[in-house]
Amino acid sequence: MKVKFNRSALQEALNLVTTIIPSRTPKPILQCLRITTEKDAVRISATDLEAGITCLVSQVDIDEAGDIVVPADKLFSIVRESFDEVTTLEATESAVYLTGSDSRFTIYSHDPQQYPAIPGFEGEADLEVKLSALQEGIEYTIFSAARESTRYALNGILWEVSGKKLSLVATDGRRLAKSTVTLEKTATLPENRIIVPAKTMSLLDKIPAHDDGTVKIRFVNNQIVLACETVVVSSNLVEGNFPKYEDIIPKDQDKKITLPTGAVLSAVRRAALLANEDSKGIKLALNKGTLVFTSRAPETGDAKIDMAIEYDAEPIEIGFNPQFLIDVLRVMKVDEFELHLGQSDRPGLIKSGSNFLYIVMPVNL
């Protein structure tokens, strides 16, 4: 193999595909990338056996075709630190040589025949959605997915299709986020709903959106395969039962207020500065014409932030984990949002239009 890469294009591809590389694994080959020449492009692939990604780099000059497997961290580090416009990659059976204007690196390679197969995108799409719309839906929900739950279904994001709408839902048991995006092409999901691993969704969110491309989606044998422009992502689906989230969406809240997103985010962050593990959260006190954010830590002190608002319903005091509020407020791309409350021991509901809602459980202070 001998290929001349546009270094910037190669680095962009490596930025994406290396995010899936496991930091620890009993199979060292999974910490490698497979690089394969095609007719007029080079395909770079990575997998952790649960998910896989391939990225096509077309800004190349192929002098000699080939197929190699090379350690991802070494290749990425060399390309990232280079300042050349062009990086030349040559390979023999046992080594890869990277050459720049003033440098030459040798990296020992692996047998491509030992590298796991990664599914490509073949056939008609079952669903199609704009990349920008899907990525916004991911950003609005992924922070609510559980990190290490023994209930594996909570480690993923639920997909539900109704007509031309795709609902994405994530929960860790203490909060829940639901975002709805419009599909360009629709079909029936396997068993009407699927659960996609949060790691896979995070990978989709990293795809560069150059021209508001369309994501084509197929479902094959308990796997999801997604293609967008030069990138194909494949993943196993999560097995398990996702909670019946419709049952926990509050429907009896009688207090509704419209609040400025940026100002509330700032107030929550400042109030949280003096909250600790003992105090567990911050308190929101709604009274006529005012919203007060407070926190108290027995050994540190207390904080109080006042905000003038339009509100004339019954007063209420309610406590929340400030991080759960910060997580949602910092991803919302609107100037204002609605806060719905019922009783101080009932969940709070944040809404933005008809396409996003967020439920957060209160804490006792």
What is the residue extent of each domain of the chain?
2-114, 127-245, 250-360
Question: What is the per-residue DSSP string for 122-172?
Answer: -S--SEEEEHHHHHHHHHTTGGGS-SS-SSGGGGEEEEEEETTEEEEEEE-
Sheet of 301-308, strand order: 301-308, 290-297, 282-287, 316-320
- pLDDT at residue 278, rounded to an integer: 67
pLDDT greater at residue 220 or residue 196: 196
Exposure on the CB side of residue 129, measured as CA atoms within 13 A: 27
Give the residue among 233, 201, 202 at the shortest CA–CA distance from 216.
Answer: 233
When pLDDT is cut at 50, 70 and 90, the band that residue 279 belongs to is low
User: Average of pLDDT values for 270-288?
Assistant: 88
CA 265 vs CA 20, 85, 185, 268, 350: distances in Å? 32, 42, 36, 5, 13
Give the three-class secondary structure for 89.
strand
Give the range among 147-151, 154-158, 230-234, 293-297 with minimum mean pLDDT: 147-151
Alpha helices in 55-147 (DSSP H): 72-81, 131-139
Q: How far is CA 57 from CA 6, 17, 119, 214, 349, in A?
A: 9, 12, 18, 18, 44
In this prediction, residues 254-275 reach a mean pLDDT of 95
* pLDDT tier at 282, thresholds 50, 70, 90: very high
Structure tokens at 115: 């590298």
Whether 1 and 91 have beta carbons less than 8 Å apart is answered as: yes
Q: What is the mean pLDDT of residues 117-126?
A: 92
Confidence of residue 192 (pLDDT cuts 50, 70, 90): confident
CA 212 to chain centre: 17
Strand partners, 4: 61, 88
CA angle 239, 202, 7 (to 5 degrees): 135
CATH code of 127-245, in short, is 3.10.150.10
**Percent over 90 (pLDDT), the chain:** 80
End-to-end CA distance of the chain: give it in Å, rounded: 65
> Tens digit of pLDDT for each residue in 68-88?
999 999 999 999 999 999 999
Assess whether the region 127-245 and the region 250-360 belong to the same CATH fold. Answer: yes
pLDDT at 149: 60
Q: Which residues contact 265 (CB under 8 A, 6 or more apart)?
A: 325, 326, 329, 330
3-state secondary structure of 197: strand
* CA distance to 50, 134, 237, 363, per residue, from 142 (Å): 18, 12, 16, 22
pLDDT at 297: 85
pLDDT tens-digit map of 37-79: 999 999 999 999 999 999 999 999 999 999 999 999 999 999 9
Rg (CA), the chain: 24
Whether the per-residue pLDDT at 167 is higher than 70: the answer is: yes
Mean pLDDT of 340-363: 94
Domain 2-114 = CATH 3.10.150.10 = yes
Cβ neighbours for 259, distance < 8 A, ≥ 6 positions apart: 291, 309, 336, 337, 338, 339
Encode pLDDT of 233-255 as tens digits: 999 999 888 889 998 899 888 99
Superfamily in which the 250-360 domain is placed by CATH: DNA Polymerase III, subunit A, domain 2 (3.10.150.10)
What's the rounded mean pLDDT across residues 101-112? 95
Lowest pLDDT segment from 12-26, 61-75, 183-197: 183-197
Burial call 333-360: b when 16+ CB within 10 Å, e when fewer: eeeebebbbbeeeebbbbbbeebbbbbb
pLDDT band of residue 300 (cuts 50, 70, 90) is: confident
**Tokens 């595909």 found at:** 17
